């Protein structure tokens, strides 16, 4: 049971909320962007450090909150791209109120951690809305019409998905008499309908096919730090919330593996095929994010099998890689005023460090050997194959084909950077890009350390979810 004495396990969340109000109060004295970003970065860093050194050797639960090594892994996977995004705000022309921006950002990030630690649908919903409402504001908090349009589309889809989630929660309560996950239903037909509505509601937020439409315009139109944040931390959080719900409901989930296989295949294929035709690199990255959601979704096929523990650790590694790769790629756009692929021509001569670092992230997104993206995909696909089903082999084969296809459009950008002559103007250094590329390669080379770390703090999935009972 969680008692007042055990709430120190949520200090990583409290620190973010404290930091949000510190930024708000300091902004009354100064609105210097560098000061506000420094406050945000410090408090996110403190939250990350607390998370890394927390000990979840056994699940901590009270029916509403469930904390374990499982939670800790994905706290880390969410906080790292969150940290990159908040630092990225130092270069992005966001608004004249950076203090308010950092306040909104930290509140949203804190609720993300609460969302993945929640084991009660009411808690999940409140935390999820605590994430969604601030991100609507973040998406609109710029100066351009594109940002406003992106925010409106995001809000409309968000409102619709919220309605589905509320309806699903209501039916879940009717079917089970409780809002705690893992309950045994009394009315199976209502239970299945409730779970279906929850899957669709959270599916919109995850931007899986065919519920992805809002994500393209939102990722493309929002400022680069916001695009980075929405496409990484927010996506990872939504995936883990959906995993928590489905893994705790095997009665429903066993009927859906074929459906999730189809969704994963369609999502990655659609994202990759449409990305091929994009000349706007930021829009290409938006479609790439859809494809990545497809790769992440293959983890659903492993539920209820002996490979689930390997799958969760592999998912953490891929989510960690994805956070560095996608956040770094979107934040790299801040060094460029024009996102057209022609503007990347001759980048090798204009800024060699930028060209090499961006190429590393693109290759890692494609799954090039030696990068963390490759390692994450390898172990994730391996966990799916270990189930031994024909469906698993089909999904992995199509996933590998999609990864090969993605080399085309990622490689096209690399060709422009290294082998096309273009404009001669210099490109500003982007140290967030360089850092992301460095850690992507470092963790790729030292992947066994990341894997061992994940194994050391992660109990079995069974142990994790038994804590919620």
pLDDT-derived band at 254 (thresholds 50, 70, 90) equals low
Strand, coil or helix: 236:
helix
Q: Give the length of the chain.
A: 469
Q: Which of 115-124, 377-386, 392-401, 436-445 holds the top average pLDDT?
A: 392-401
CA 112 to centroid of chain Cα atoms: 10
Confidence of residue 5 (pLDDT cuts 50, 70, 90): very low
Q: What is the C-alpha separation between 20 and 298, in angstroms, rounded? A: 35
Give per-residue pLDDT as tens, 41-81: 899 999 888 888 877 655 555 667 777 677 788 888 899 99
Percentage of the chain lying above the pLDDT 90 cut: 17
Q: What is the mean pLDDT of residues 81-91?
A: 84
CA–CA separation, 231 vs 357, rounded Å?
20
Highest mean pLDDT of the ranges 79-88, 140-149, 398-407: 398-407
CB–CB of 204/211 below 8 Å? yes
84-90 mean pLDDT: 84
419-428 tens-digit pLDDT: 887 767 777 7
| Percent of the chain topping pLDDT 70 | 87
How large is the C-alpha radius of gyration of the chain?
A: 21
Is 336 strand, coil or helix?
Answer: coil
Whole-angstrom Cα distance, residue 247 to residue 269? 25
CA distance 33 to 21: 16
Is the separation of the CB atoms in 128 and 115 below 8 Å? yes
Query: Would you list the domain boundaries of the chain?
Result: 10-466
Name the band, by pLDDT with cuts 50, 70 and 90, for residue 305. low
Residue 371: its pLDDT value, please? 84
Question: What letter would DSSP give residue 141?
Answer: -
Q: Taking all residues of the chain, what is their mean pLDDT, rounded to a whole number? A: 82
pLDDT at 272 over 50: yes
Q: Which of 90, 191, 142 is nearest to 430 (CA)?
A: 90
User: Residue 302 pLDDT > 50, yes or no?
Assistant: yes
Q: Does residue 246 have a pLDDT over 70?
A: yes
> Helix H segments across 179-280?
188-206, 213-221, 224-229, 235-247, 250-253, 257-276
C-alpha–C-alpha distance, residues 157 and 155, integer Å: 6
pLDDT of residue 412: 92
Longest dimension (CA), the chain: 69
What's the pLDDT score for residue 4?
Answer: 42
| pLDDT tens, residue by residue, 326-378 | 888 888 888 887 788 888 888 888 888 989 999 999 999 988 888 888 888 88
- Higher pLDDT pick, 407 / 183: 407
Split at pLDDT 50, 70, 90, the class of 460 is low
The string of pLDDT tens digits covering residues 180-232 is: 887 778 888 888 888 888 888 888 888 888 777 778 888 887 788 888 888 88
CA distance 413 to 356: 12
pLDDT of 453 > 50? The answer is: yes
Integer Cα distance of 265 and 392 in angstroms: 11
Task: State pTM to two decimals.
Answer: 0.88
Q: Mean of the pLDDT values across residues 12-30?
A: 87
pLDDT beyond 50 at 1:
no
């Amino acid at each position: 049971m969680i008692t007042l004495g055990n709430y120190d396990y949520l200090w990583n969340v409290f620190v973010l909320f404290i930091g949000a109000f510190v930024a708000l109060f300091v902004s009354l004295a100064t609105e210097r962007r560098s000061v506000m970003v420094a406050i945000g970065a410090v408090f996110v860093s403190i939250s990350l450090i607390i998370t890394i050194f927390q000990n979840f050797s056994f699940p901590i639960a009270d029916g509403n909150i469930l904390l374990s090594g499982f939670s800790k892994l994905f706290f880390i996977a969410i906080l790292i791209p969150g940290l990159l995004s908040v630092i990225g705000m130092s270069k992005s022309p966001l608004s004249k109120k950076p203090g308010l921006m950092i306040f909104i950002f930290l509140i949203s990030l804190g609720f993300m951690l609460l969302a993945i630690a929640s084991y009660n649908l009411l808690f999940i919903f409140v935390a999820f809305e605590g994430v969604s409402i601030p991100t609507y504001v973040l998406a609109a908090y710029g100066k351009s019409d594109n940002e406003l349009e992106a925010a409106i589309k995001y809000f409309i889809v968000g409102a619709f998905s919220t309605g589905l989630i509320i309806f699903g929660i209501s039916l879940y309560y009717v079917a089970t008499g409780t809002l705690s996950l893992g309950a045994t239903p009394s009315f199976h037909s209502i239970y299945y309908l409730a779970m279906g509505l929850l899957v669709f509601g959270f599916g919109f937020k995850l931007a899986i096919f065919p519920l992805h439409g809002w994500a393209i315009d939102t990722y493309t139109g929002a400022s680069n730090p916001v695009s980075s944040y929405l496409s990484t931390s927010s996506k990872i959080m939504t995936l883990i919330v959906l995993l928590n719900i489905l893994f705790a409901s095997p009665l429903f989930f066993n009927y859906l593996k074929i459906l999730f296989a189809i969704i994963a295949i369609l999502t990655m294929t659609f994202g990759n095929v449409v990305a091929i035709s994009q000349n706007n690199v930021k829009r290409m990255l938006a479609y790439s994010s859809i494809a990545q959601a497809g790769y992440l979704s293959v983890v659903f096929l492993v539920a209820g099998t002996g490979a689930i523990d390997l799958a969760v650790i592999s998912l953490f590694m891929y989510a960690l890689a994805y956070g560095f790769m996608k956040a770094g790629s979107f934040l790299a756009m801040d060094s460029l005023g024009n996102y057209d692929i022609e503007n990347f021509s001759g980048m090798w001569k204009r800024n060699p460090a930028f060209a090499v670092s961006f190429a590393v992230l693109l290759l890692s997104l494609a799954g090039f050997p030696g990068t963390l993206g490759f390692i994450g995909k390898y172990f994730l696909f391996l966990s799916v194959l270990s189930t031994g089903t024909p469906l698993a082999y089909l999904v992995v084969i199509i996933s590998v084909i999609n990864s090969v296809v993605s080399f085309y459009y990622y490689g096209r950008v690399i060709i422009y950077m290294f082998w096309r002559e273009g404009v001669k103007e210099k490109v500003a250094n982007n140290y967030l890009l360089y850092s992301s590329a460095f850690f992507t390669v470092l963790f790729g080379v030292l992947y066994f350390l990341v894997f061992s770390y994940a194994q050391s703090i992660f109990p079995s999935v069974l142990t994790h979810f038994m804590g919620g009972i």
